[in-house]
Amino acid sequence: MDERPRTLLKALVAQRHWRYSDFLTHFNRTAEKVIKKGTANPTISEAQFRRWTSGAIRTLPSPDACRVLEEMFGVSAAALFQEPPSPESPAPAFSLKDEIDMTARDASSEAGSAASASISDTTLDQLRDDVASLARRYNTFSAFEVLQTARKLREEAEHHRDRTQVPIQQQDLLIIAGQTCALLSAAAFDLGSLSGATRLARAAALYGETARFTPLRAFAGGALAYIAYFSGRPAEAAQIAQRARMLTGLGDVAHRRLAAIEARAHGHRGDATSAQQALDVSRRESRGECDDLHDGVAGEFGFPGERLAMSNASTCLLLGDGVQAEVEARTALELVNNKPEALRSARVAGGAAADLAAARLLKSDLDGAADALEGVWVVPGEQRATGLLTRAARVRRALTDQRFRRTPLAAEIGERLEHFSRLAAQNQLGAGTGAVAALEV
């Protein structure tokens, strides 16, 4: 039985020991070189390949396909679809040198394509530094400024992620984009948009999950828990914080922050036992463990002593413990005032002062509360964020107690607090006061 190939194309393919997949790879690579850009490259199915090599076609393929085949084998298309030469006049010999040269050209071309599908490490470093700088200087900006800057940085991170195919750069850009979403969430919350803050925190968590970066997932989890109890869902908030604390790869700061948030959630539920347990965890001595977000970047991602003390003061107020609330609030004020002026957070100083006033009202110390509120009045409008406004609202509610109703000083403070909240950035920008309203009921 005559087993000679019926076409020269079949003979040349057999010489190279090509299967259909090998032929298709070389065909597609060659098409990219010889077909004019903007024109669709010819395609070939396995069934079509079988017809070509078996001699079962009556007309030549399309002109573009013929050009590709001629470039691949160095033989005219017409000859490729005819019977191969007789043994006395052999088909063009397989050239190992030509095959090596073609492989080298392909490898060089693909390496060049890979190199062009990456971004400069300098560009990546600058973007990483810009996000870290925004996080560290968060308290020096208004929430609206943070919103604008972080949005641009997120768009830039996504733009570069579309340009690179380098896995480590892809991961770095996912983390950077996630950090910007976390900062956007914080700014949205400060402006009173709880729904926007929730969506952005979930986006940050998803970025962290995709990049396998658990500190970002933990930070986003804490933000979601924080938003949940400000939205009147304290039980859900406690569960979210507990799940976040179970993540691996977290440092002491991350655990301290999540424990403080969980304590606040239990405080809103009125669960004194669980709140005290979480408070104890938040105050636990550090074990020297760090992570790249809460410690490495820090800033808004950190949780320094004054923020811990301020948060715990609010928890103690929720539990009706005015004595411990005053201790925590005074600690927060002392810590923030001991920092250089450029590093002091107006939000923290104002929030701690409001909590100190609320703690003194629990003891019926109206004059002491008035003194504490001097630290609230000085907070500029653009820094009067949701957390501070809810604390101010708590003080205003306390002033309506029977003990203070007919006291001129209480009436005066109440009016000032109302004016203070009305001039906050979120009210001036029309962002809403849903967070404040949620805690006033």
DSSP SS3 for 30: helix
The C-alpha torsion from 399 through 400 and 402 to 404, rounded to 10°, is 40
CATH 1.25.40.10 for the 304-441 domain, yes or no: yes
Listing DSSP states for 110-160 in one string gives HHHHHHHTS--HHHHHHHHHHHHHHHHTGGGS-HHHHHHHHHHHHHHHHHH
- Crossing angle between the packed helical segments 305-318 and 272-282, to the nearest 10 degrees: 170
Query: How many CB atoms neighbour CB 13 within 10 A?
Result: 22
Instruction: Determine the pLDDT at residue 38.
Output: 66
Whether 311 and 264 have beta carbons less than 8 Å apart is answered as yes
Amino acid at 306: E
pLDDT by residue, tens only, the chain of 441 residues? 456 678 888 888 888 888 888 888 888 888 888 887 667 778 888 888 888 888 888 888 888 888 888 888 888 888 888 887 765 444 444 555 555 555 555 555 555 455 556 788 899 999 999 999 999 999 989 899 999 999 999 999 999 998 888 899 999 999 999 999 999 999 999 998 999 999 999 999 999 999 999 999 999 999 999 999 999 999 999 999 999 999 999 999 999 999 999 999 999 999 999 999 999 999 998 889 999 999 999 999 999 999 999 999 999 999 999 999 999 999 999 999 999 988 889 999 999 999 999 999 999 999 999 999 999 999 998 888 899 999 999 999 999 999 998 899 999 999 999 999 887 766 655 555 444 444 433
Q: Note the pLDDT of residue 438.
A: 41
The token pair that represents 310 in the structure block: 């301020």
pLDDT of residue 106: 57
- The single residue listed with the structure tokens 């002109």 is 63
Query: According to the model, what pLDDT value does residue 54 have?
Result: 84
DSSP state of 292: I
Q: Find the DSSP H helices in 319-365.
A: 322-337, 346-362
What value does the CA radius of gyration of the chain take, rounded to a whole number of Å? 34
**Contact (Cβ atoms closer than 8 angstroms) between residue 294 and residue 253:** yes
Amino acid at 51: R
Domain ranges of the chain: 8-85+93-115, 304-441
